[in-house]
Amino acid sequence: MNRIKIETMVGLFLLVGLASFAVLAVQLGGVGGLDNDHYTLEARFTSSSGLKVGSDVEVAGVVVGKVKRIRLDPEAFESVVEVSLPKSVRLQEDAIASVRSTGLIGGKFIKISPGGADELLEPGDEIAETESAVNLEELIGKYMFQNDSGE
């Protein structure tokens, strides 16, 4: 009888541990459909080089969301970035989305500068004003070759 009691306790402990792990995985993984306090917006860039799914989205220097999806629009040859923001963060329709770098060799993130319009973006809308990523290698290459030919 004592052995059955120990096995039952171990089994219950294991079930509680697995359930806790599952809840933690869902919360940290941001599984779609379970996150009702967020909405998505899209932004189009000529280049989103270095940006990754899961990259931060900042407003006023505060991380408020994540990059949810990046895809290519084959007709316009533009990068379409889908961002997830909390419903408490409402942006004006003239907000500006920029791809920025965390440092010289750091990762990329989306910086959103709020606008001043009265109209707000609705879930699923597109941020019209965007600034693409600056390619540091191209800038250095242009500067180096411009210097060589200018002498």
> Mind listing the pLDDT tens digit for each residue in 22-81?
888 777 765 555 557 899 999 999 888 888 999 999 998 899 999 999 999 889 889 999
Q: Which two tokens stand for residue 137?
A: 């290698």
Amino acid, res. 130 = T
Tokens of 71: 């895809």
Residue 60 and residue 62: Cα distance in Å, rounded? 6
SS3 for 151? Answer: coil
Position 13 pLDDT exceeds 60: yes
* pLDDT given for residue 36 in this prediction: 74
The DSSP letter of residue 102 is: S
Count the Cβ atoms, other than its own, within 10 Å of residue 7: 10
Band the pLDDT of 147: cuts 50, 70, 90.
low
